[in-house]
Amino acid sequence: MNVPPYHSLEQGIISLLFFTGTSNLWEGNVEGEWERKRETLEHYDRLALIYDSLYGEEQSIKIGLALRNLKVKNGDLLLDIGCGTGILMEFVMPIIKHYVGLDLAKKTLKVAAERSRRLKVKSKVSLIRADADHLPFRSGSFSIIFALTLLQNMPEPSRTLVEILRVAKEKSQIVITGLKKNFTKKEFDELVCRIWRDHTFFEAPGSKDFIVVIKVKDK
């Protein structure tokens, strides 16, 4: 199996593929998991230059609904897991302290880097190539976390949610979406309930996703 580099820096994108949060990437069925993730990242890399034209409007609807149910503050440190081309930047950069976008797909991150330059917010943006199951951050780091259209791509979504909770601060806010073609409403609600009983469930008119907003009271 070809192993990606442990860390590197290219065009403002930091690659930290094998930093681990709660477990070692090389434990368990890692080859099978990595092959699935490799297929996903290659798919999104192929779409990188046309992703916004295909899905930008759909993503914007989800983001708008989520933000109407959040309290975003000037001092917030925001993590966008599975950030793709960084569409979320367009909505939050006038407000938050710093945006951290994380994705496995390098070409989509390059589009996100170009977006940060176009918006003239490069100094407030960090883009990291890493695995959502092994987030390269200390526990309790972020006050707002987005994970849009992510869980259907993960081998064990509940494990991904545990890792998201790990890096969330107390009193943080978390937004998670799930594609309706991959989850029934009951399945998605039960998945989230394994980690958070207290959450708000939304269905945006015309959206292809279920949307959940979690307000972390204590950990």
pLDDT at residue 117 is higher than 50 = yes
Q: Which of 20, 8, 59 is nearest to 139 (CA)?
A: 20
CA distance 201 to 193: 11
pLDDT of residue 32: 73
Q: pTM here?
A: 0.87
- The mean pLDDT value of the chain amounts to 86
Kindly report, residue by residue over 190-206, the tens digit of the pLDDT.
999 988 878 888 887 77
pLDDT of residue 198: 82
pLDDT at residue 17 is higher than 90 = no
Between residues 8 and 20, the one the model is more confident about: 8
CA 176 to the chain's CA centroid = 8
**E strand or H helix at 35:** helix 30-47
pLDDT of residue 138: 95
Q: Which of 50, 109, 99 is nearest to 77 (CA)?
A: 99
CB 179 within 8 A of CB 112: no
pLDDT of residue 218: 65
Pairing state between β 168-179 and 142-147: parallel
pLDDT at residue 58 is higher than 50 = yes
Kindly report, residue by residue over 23-51, the tens digit of the pLDDT.
444 344 566 787 888 888 899 999 999 99
Kindly report, residue by residue over 145-154, the tens digit of the pLDDT.
999 999 999 9
CATH, range 8-215: 3.40.50.150
